[in-house]
Amino acid sequence: KYTKFSISYYWINSLDQKTSIYTRVENVAIPSGEENKTAALSYDHRIMPLQNISSTGTYYCNVKWNDIQKTGKGVFVLIRDTGYINTSYSWEILITLTVLLAVLSITATALLLWKRKVFCPRRNQPNILRQKVDTQLPSASPPTVPPPVYD
């Protein structure tokens, strides 16, 4: 009674429309001595590559005996038009951050060197300033000022 059955594959789209994919009839011979025992048989069905997004839906397998019908839980398949695109920007962020830090470092170094030239006189420049001050004093009483300690 249960050796002849049909297997059908179908899918239900987002509008709850049922579309049949494939149906086949099986007739399984039972070996002697195996009568009245439960048997589990596996049947695979490969669906060809789906071409458009309208194939999105839940796919089911249904088995029918004379008076019994069993339906699988179903597998939901989401079809995308362009496929999966990885949206990782880690390299772009790393390169941007590196360039930004390099520009800031170069700018800071240039500013420090520029400020050093403006505010820090050379070693012999204080002597030049002192000589200018000495020449402006009256010649009658030239003061003798000892050189600064830091010279």
**83-87, 110-114, 136-140: which range is least confident on average?**
136-140
Supply the pLDDT for residue 99. Answer: 95
CA atoms within 13 A on the CB side of 134: 12
pTM given for the model: 0.47
- 95 compared with 122, residue with greater pLDDT: 95
Supply the pLDDT for residue 51. Answer: 64
| Whole-angstrom distance, CA of residue 142 vs CA of residue 47 | 110
Supply the pLDDT for residue 77. Answer: 85
| Whole-angstrom distance, CA of residue 8 vs CA of residue 18 | 12
Mean pLDDT in residue range 15-26: 87
Q: What letter would DSSP give residue 47?
A: P
Supply the pLDDT for residue 84. Answer: 66
Mean pLDDT for the chain overall: 77
- 33 compared with 60, residue with greater pLDDT: 60
- pLDDT, tens digit (0-9, with 9 covering 90-100), for 39-86: 777 877 777 766 666 778 899 999 998 888 999 899 998 877 766 677
Q: Which of 23, 93, 95 is nearest to 63 (CA)?
A: 23
